[in-house]
Chains A and B, each alone.
Chain A
Amino acid sequence: MKTSKKEQENKIKSRSKKADDKQKLILELLKTHGAKIYDDLDNGQFPKFSIPSRSVSNIVYDKQLRQYILGNNAALRSSRNSAQLRSFTQLMWLAFFANRLTTERKSSTLRDIYYSSQAFAVEFEDQSESDNIIVDLEAVTSRAREDFHIFPEERSSIFGDLNIEYTIPGYEGKTMNLANHPDGYSIGPSLTTAELVSTSAEIVIAIEKGGLFTRFVEEQVDKKFKSIIINTGGQAPRSTRTLLKRLHDEMKLPVICLTDGDVYGEHIAMVIKSGSANAAHLRELTVPDAKWVGVWATDIEKYKLPTIPMTESDIKRCYDLQKDPRYQDGIWKKELDVFLKLKRKAELEAFSKYGLTNITDKYLPQKLELAKSL
């Protein structure tokens, strides 16, 4: 890719303008909410606001969006209500703190938020209480916490031929190729907010386990199959799901998921595809076209994989998912039924029985081929 110096500069400018615009938008949003509270108080009234209800009865599946969304029920939070006053104050503080983070372009983590509160005499019983208030902020503003520079602790990683350009302060315009470091790159705030510049890859492979991720890098799956490999580390964190979505939408790359051969693995793929009920208040976290290619229940017999029996909770999870609207047809329903029939499960590592590279040599090519027809 050859571009003139001026073109390059313009591109950088426009990219940083894009980031600035987004920042402005978020700050404006926070200011609007703050001003409403301020005006209530200034008029001698107890401030209040409304927040979409996140109760189970208000979480519905939207077939068109292909994800869970919140219904129309909303709750009024009033500072006059003594039972709500504490959480009201906590949320006000969080908005205030998010405003500082966003203004100064500083990042924070869920845990960091919990500890920061203490400096302002705002009490949280434990981190789960502050986590919950963060979800409140997301619900009120319809924005993901990452937009307010708040990130989860856990990191997943990425490897493959992808050029990115940072937008975070101090790194603006700096580029990086994500195939330069064999351990992969951790998907944190800087990577999530980076511009995706170019890639030679033709597919994204999301894999559930770190061990297999390393094996894939060693076996040069990225080169052999022209792919970007992502380790989700179990259930994919939001920043990873955002990145997957961007790779799909911006770079036009198909996304496939490779998980353990059990009901939890199947659901990891499902969450990448259509989100979780927990994040029903947020959009832009799903890759509706993502495909789950294995390990399927039917693969267990087909590839004669060593298995272990399902536990009680595995089986219960199967029955629970049978009630989920997303598991009512296609491969999702079929594989779930077979899992229930077999009552056995297989790990991705099960392929090692036939040699350490069996999974990349035999299984993966077949599945990639199959994915085209899915």
Chain B
Amino acid sequence: MSAIKEKFNQISPSEFFYSNRDLAGFSNPTRSLYTAVREFVENALDACDQKGILPDVHLTIKAVDPDKPDPKPYILTVKDNGPGIDAEHIPLAFGTVLYGSKFGLKQARGMFGLGATMAILYGQITTNKPVIVKSSSDGKIQNQFEILLDIQKNKPIIVKHTTKEVAKTGLAVSICLEGDYSKAGNKIRDYVYETSLITPYASITFNDSKEQKFSHPRFVKEIPPPPTIIRPHPHGIDVERIRRMIVESQFEIPTIDDTMIEKVRKDLGLSVKKLSFISIMDKAKKKWKHLPRQVRVVIALMSFLKMDFEKLNKIQIEDIDMPNKKLFYWDFGDSQSKSVDMDPESEYYKQLTNTVQGEPLTTFLTKRFQRIGPTTAVKFAEFAKFKPEKRMGTLTNQELVNLSDALQKFEDFMAPDSSCLAPLGAEPLEKGIKKFFNPDFVAVVQRPASAYSGFPFIVEMGIAYGGDIKSGGPHVYRYANRIPLLYDEGSDVVLKVVNDTDWGRYKIKGEPPFIIVSHICSTRIPYKTAGKENVADRQEIERELRLALQFLSRKLSSFMSKRGQAEMAKKRANLYAKYIPMIAEFCTELSGRKKEPNYKKMLETEIASENKKAVKEANEIENK
């Protein structure tokens, strides 16, 4: 777990979000309170998941002045037992927008950790109170910050910073924001309830502003395996992403100064200060394998310049023109620009090419993307009409676009790696459904991984019938990356698939008491809106949902028919008991007899046998 390194980098200012906050779900006091709860709870769960810690999350919402009418200021606090955040990162993490720790490609609830800063920003706008962050990342010292956000400069203002001793790690974030709990309360309680169903390994408590306490203890002791961070899939990439990857792959020509020369000298193991050019080259050839890249580049340059260290000290490299095989430099001694030709046959020439022009296309593909081997890379180059050895650094803008297009269109790439996904697993899901609904019947399924547009995804689904479930179903519980989706269900792909189903075909009629739990896991959930409440109907996702639902519906159908058979047997027994004596009575008079026919024993045997059948079918359901 500890292998997962947090990477922090600062990427963009907060003004944009200030003016577009409704995009992120902060449109009104009701929705904002709900969204803020979501963002902090999800961050807490994500932090614990990443470190393999069984989460204990405590949520409190308290009105600043309980007697005021809604909407009014509330203090929202979310406390977890996660890894905490190092003191040095706290001001930036909570006091700037777009400062995230979640930029790797793997499944997490939030994408970039943006939402939490949005909530802080919203709180500050509406109440002008700082965010209070208490964090301990070592389990000994807790840092407590009060931070305000400088919106124009996108910089944190530390109002107060204190420390104290504690016994365990964890993070507690507290903001003051304007909200409407009387309206948002239902949704927040639903959210906490539904979150605990999909996070059975977490213990979640919620103290609300009306002094009500909702406690959802964990009922699964094992945390599902965490996702791994993986390289991108070629189908899920665009021009901008390729450009960044190329920049990462290129090395700059090192500046040749005293420090550099000293390093080269040391790496070559040269104690003598003055050494001829030829001796240096000899020495380098012997040690080549062990030399770092920078040193190799310097040696290569020296080989063409035919200079020793002393001369090298008096020039500056101006340009390396690989196509024309010329090396330009400024000679401080003569105060003029000079050039030498480079021999393309030389080993050193290749070394420089690699450095200046980047990796060949095939190397770039196999090294920087998931699941591309050398054979596929060559095949792709042919498909995209690039030479396999084409240097990535020499791509023109148009070529870059062509490459990006070809990456999308090439169909022989393997399906995306799904190890970056973290489904809950069939067993915990079933446990959760059983605990929550105490149903007569439950079935769950985890579909194999699939992909849309290069993003892997997995669909998990559960279906349950009877027990504590209310009639009027199917009630659909939608989840994406372990987040319950509560708003905008009308346009959701899951609802679409459920509504398309002809339940009569599965022997489910009337207003049945049954629920469907759907969980989509992906490195990128195709939400329809920034509010992250409904999933778009991507064909591939729709297909997987459909297959999962069909599989479960068939199981439910067989349960229903078994149950139907049991009910039928019982019904038959009742019908016999009711009608056969009547028939006996009528036919006695009709046939002119005095005494009723001797049918009682037959009737008893038959009723007993039907009742036995009913019990047997019921037992079969029980044992399933």
**Chain A residues in the interface with B (C-beta under 8 A):** 30-31, 33-35, 37-39, 41-42, 44-47, 79, 82, 85-86, 88-89, 92-93, 95-96, 99, 121-122
Contacts and interface: CB of A to CB of B under 8 A. Distances in A.
B11 interface: no
A96 B587 contact: yes
B590 A33 contact: yes
Nearest to A39: B597
B597 A41 contact: yes
A206 B105 CA distance: 93
Given A34-B586, A41-B598, A82-B576, 8 more contacts: A35-B587, A37-B587, A41-B580, A42-B597, A82-B575, A89-B582, A92-B586, A96-B586
A45 B568 contact: no
B597 A38 contact: yes
Contacts of A35: 587, 590-592
Interface in B566-585: 568, 571-572, 575-576, 579-580, 582-584
Given A44-B601, A82-B568, A93 B582 contact: yes
5 contacts: A34-B589, A39-B597, A42-B597, A89-B583, A92-B583
Contact of A82 (B571, B591, B593): B571
Contact of A37 (B572, B575, B579, B583): B583
A92 B582 contact: yes
A253 to B, nearest CB: 39
Interface string B349-373: 0000000000000000000000000
Interface in B446-493: none
Contact of A88 (B568, B572, B579, B606): B579
Contacts of B586: 34, 89, 92-93, 95-96
Contacts, number: 83
Contacts of A44: 598-599, 601-602
B579 to A, nearest CB: 4
B215 interface: no
B588 interface: yes
Given A42-B599, A44-B602, A82-B572, A34 B582 contact: no
A79 B580 contact: yes
Given A44-B599, A82-B568, A38 B588 contact: yes
A86 to B, nearest CB: 7
A96 B590 contact: yes
Contact of B590 (A31, A42, A46): A31
A34 B599 contact: no
Contacts of B575: 82, 85-86
A86 B580 CA distance: 10
Contacts of B599: 41-42, 44
A42 B583 CA distance: 12
A31 B591 CA distance: 5
Given A44-B599, A44-B601, A82-B572, A37 B582 contact: no
B583 A88 contact: yes
A46 B575 CA distance: 13
A38 B579 contact: no
A34 B590 contact: yes
Nearest to B589: A96
A195 to B, nearest CB: 30
Contacts of B582: 89, 92-93, 121-122
Contact of B591 (A37, A86, A88): A37
Contact of B579 (A33, A86, A96, A99): A86
B486 to A, nearest CB: 46
A82 B583 CA distance: 14
Nearest to B588: A38
Given A34-B587, A35-B591, A44-B602, A85 B597 contact: no
A35 B584 CA distance: 11
B616 to A, nearest CB: 18
A33 B583 CA distance: 13
Contacts of B592: 31, 34-35
B591 A47 contact: no
Given A41-B597, A42-B598, A47-B583, A92 B590 contact: yes
Nearest to A27: B592
A269 B291 CA distance: 116
Nearest to B605: A44
In the A-B complex, the 8 residue pairs with the closest CB atoms:
A34-B590, A34-B591, A41-B597, A42-B597, A96-B586, A44-B602, A35-B591, A37-B587
B602 A38 contact: no
A37 B590 contact: yes
A45 B571 CA distance: 20
B579 A47 contact: no
B187 to A, nearest CB: 47
A306 to B, nearest CB: 54
A92 B588 CA distance: 10
B584 A41 contact: yes
Contacts of A89: 579, 582-583, 586
A46 B584 CA distance: 11
B597 A99 contact: no
B147 to A, nearest CB: 75
A38 B598 contact: no
Contacts of A96: 586-587, 589-590
Contacts of A41: 580, 583-584, 587, 597-599, 602
Nearest to A92: B586
B590 to A, nearest CB: 3
A42 B599 CA distance: 6
Contacts of B584: 41
A99 B599 CA distance: 23
Contacts of B597: 38-39, 41-42
A121 B588 CA distance: 17
A123 B505 CA distance: 32
